[in-house]
Amino acid sequence: MTLEHYTREELDYILDTATKFEEIAAGREKSKLLDGKILATLFYEPSTRTKNSHEAAMLRLGGGVIGFDNTASTSIEKGESFEDTIKTFGLYSDVIVIRHPEMGTAQRAADITDVPVINGGDGANQHPTQGLLDLYTMRKAKGSIDGLEIALVGDVKHTRTYHSLTYGLSRYDCKIHFVAPDPLQLLPEIEKDIMKRGVEFDKVSQLTKVIEKVDVVYISRLQEERFPNREDAKKFRGAYTLNPEWLKDAKEDMIIMHHLPRLWEIPKEIDDTPHAHYFQQEYNGMVVRCGLLSLVLGMI
């Protein structure tokens, strides 16, 4: 359910497996590897990429897809319990991807059904498949994650992607700069964990302090929906917008990542620079999910 407990060997194995699906994900090679298998996507929260890249991956591999992205069109609307919904989809499918606003829901689902459950994001907790595709993106762009300096910029506290990615990066020999205003900095429990693992990191408030030396700038949106009081989020709006001027100080081959959707963090003019890597990143999500679905279904 989280990348926290994965070893480096396990992470490398998943990334190596995903690499084998590049041609299939692109549609240049046909595959029937998951012919007859059914994926259920149960999205209690909105999604563009996580839901559709899992579904596209399943379709590329010859499988089928069922599920929902709006509980209003299901019997949840009539009061059906979470347990009964999960049991039902466990009967109709071979693997489930679930996204839910509450922490720990993917684990709850996995305790209810016998089919494998993939966490597509549980509240402000974790987003492990995004963490995997982020590792994949860095490795593919840079050849290795070892030796990289990576800035994680924005709402470090609430961004579940950063939680998962930080645990993933903690298995590699890289340096992480957490760039956020104090109230949105790294969660103490994650900081304690990565300190125990000997991860090299620092916490800074301005990207300009590290932009010259980093290989990756990963910026994300303010997670306003995760604030207990949404009004409190307003004062951080616009705190981190990537100024195209700053790129003059960046390494020539520095890449910019974003899990998307973006709001104001990356001005559109940056899309045409060689630094922009976020569309490649979201494409990689489909490649990685081809690998993951094949692994969890025991087909590879």
End-to-end CA, the chain? 20
CB within 8 A of 119, min separation 6: which ones? 1, 2, 98, 106, 107, 126, 127, 128, 129
Q: Which residue among the candidates 37, 51, 60, 99 is catalytic per the annotation?
A: 99
Of the pair 37, 49, the CB lying nearest ligand CP is at 49
Dihedral pair phi/psi, residue 177, rounded to 5°: -110, 115
Distance of CA 146 to the CA centre of its chain: 20
- CB 173 to ligand CP: min, Å: 26
Of the pair 93, 130, the CB lying nearest ligand CP is at 130
Q: Are 270 and 295 in contact (CB under 8 A)?
A: no
Active site residue 78: yes
- CB 48 to ligand CP: min, Å: 4
What's the full length of the chain, in residues? 300
Please give the structure tokens belonging to residue 232. 């409190």
Helices and strands, counts by H and E, the chain = 10, 9
Active site residue 99: yes
Q: Which residue among the candidates 37, 60, 100, 127 is catalytic per the annotation?
A: 127
Of the pair 49, 100, the CB lying nearest ligand CP is at 49
- The CA angle 153-49-251, to the nearest 5 degrees, is 35
Binding site for ligand CP (CB under 6 A): 47-50, 130, 259-261
Of the pair 49, 158, the CB lying nearest ligand CP is at 49
- CB 218 to ligand CP: min, Å: 12
Active site residue 50: yes
What is the rounded distance in angstroms from the CA atom of residue 151 to the CA atom of residue 171?
17
Q: Which residues are catalytic?
A: 49-50, 78, 99, 127
